[in-house]
A and B are shown apart, each in its own frame.
Chain A
Amino acid sequence: MEKIKSLADLKKIRDNVQTKIDLREKSEHPESLIQIRVAMATCGIAAGSKETMNYFLNHLEENGIEAVVTQTGCMGYCFAEPTVEITKPGKEPIVFGHVNCEKAEEIIQKYLKHDELVEGIIPVNYQSI
């Protein structure tokens, strides 16, 4: 990768990207994209959630997945950090616990690509009859 040091260098990259980008506005329809929320409170950070978030950001595109990756606070599952909440369009959110980079890869390959559930789900939103 070429060296990027100034805003001018960044602009060059941006201009390259602009020619590739089709003009759909992501931010206008966030609900149509997969939402990935990485818990980033003290407990999560101490358990390595920065690495987890970085892993998702860097490995979604190569797998052809379009998603919005953001941060959220502590959900009270400090024992299971790093936790990640994933909401697929039209589905209930699912919280995964103990998501290190290995687990993140498994989630990308199984849940995000094929809707296949993986171990480590924290059951929060079951519904009683």
Chain B
Amino acid sequence: MKDLSSHIMDIVQNSIRAEATWIIIRLCEEPATDLFSIEIQDNGCGMDEVTLAKVRNPFFTSRTVRKVGLGIPLLQQNAERTGGQLTITSQPGVGTTVKATFSHSHLDRPPLGDLAETLTLLIVANPNIRFSYEHTTAIGQYRFDTEEINAVLEGVPISHPDILPALQNMIRENLKDIQADQPQQSNSHQSSNIK
């Protein structure tokens, strides 16, 4: 996976397969403590301890069409490569939470990628799932909830060709405002000094 938004798209597919009706995505950037974390929480079917112990194994999958399942292992590899880690907690009938932590400044941390695109694609493809999004940076926080968006749209489908780019635009502008995935302030000062 070349960026973190691809990982998010991938892990959320697990939640969708687990028949979740509410998926919460939390991103937290703390350059001060060198932390970048991604948390995906769902209310899907959950996993028992036996299954949970197996999901990090690349040769485990619940699918029958192929013998490998690389979503979780790839995310774990990327997280651990930066000195971070992957934690999964799950309870059958309650849901699953996947949390990946990265070193914010580590060279091997993939960039965030086009998060606005990823989120809108997820929302359009799964109109019956409620998505809550929360992104915290040193500058501030941006959050939205598809329940609020649907309330505003009053029956006009999100997939409408005029609404979709507007929604993408809205997310993009707000993420820009809180300077999502920007290098640390001090770093940019240094580089401008060098020039």
A residues apposed to B, CB below 8 Å: 1, 3-7, 9-11, 13-14, 16-18, 21, 26-27, 40-43, 45-46, 50, 53-54, 57-58, 60-61, 68-71, 73-76, 78
Contact = CB atoms under 8 A, between A and B. Distances in A.
A74 B71 CA distance: 12
Q: How large is the interface on B (under 10, 10 to 19, 20 to 34, 35 or more residues)?
A: 35 or more
Contact of B166 (A4, A50, A61): A4
B194 interface: no
Interface stretch (B20-28, B30-38, B118-126): B118-126
A50 B144 CA distance: 21
Given A13-B163, A14-B156, A45 B169 contact: no
B70 interface: yes
A46 B170 contact: no
A9 B153 CA distance: 11
B124 A42 contact: no
Contacts of A70: 124-126
A69 B152 contact: no
Contacts of A40: 9, 13, 125
B97 to A, nearest CB: 19
A75 B166 contact: no
25 contacts: A1-B169, A4-B169, A5-B173, A6-B170, A7-B144, A10-B163, A10-B166, A13-B163, A14-B152, A14-B154, A40-B9, A45-B1, A45-B10, A46-B1, A46-B6, A50-B9, A54-B117, A57-B161, A58-B165, A61-B161, A69-B124, A69-B159, A71-B16, A71-B126, A75-B65
B4 to A, nearest CB: 12
Nearest to A77: B65
B179 to A, nearest CB: 15
Contact of B13 (A14, A27, A41, A61): A41
A9 B125 contact: no
A3 B154 contact: no
Contacts of B118: 50
Nearest to B121: A53
A76 B66 contact: yes
B6 A50 contact: yes
Interface in B109-149: 114, 117-118, 121-122, 124-127, 144, 148-149
Contacts of A21: 156, 160
A84 B53 CA distance: 33
B156 A11 contact: no
B92 interface: no
B17 A7 contact: no
Nearest to B161: A61
A101 B37 CA distance: 32
B39 to A, nearest CB: 19
B157 A57 contact: no
Contacts of B154: 14, 18
Contact of A73 (B63, B127, B160, B166): B63
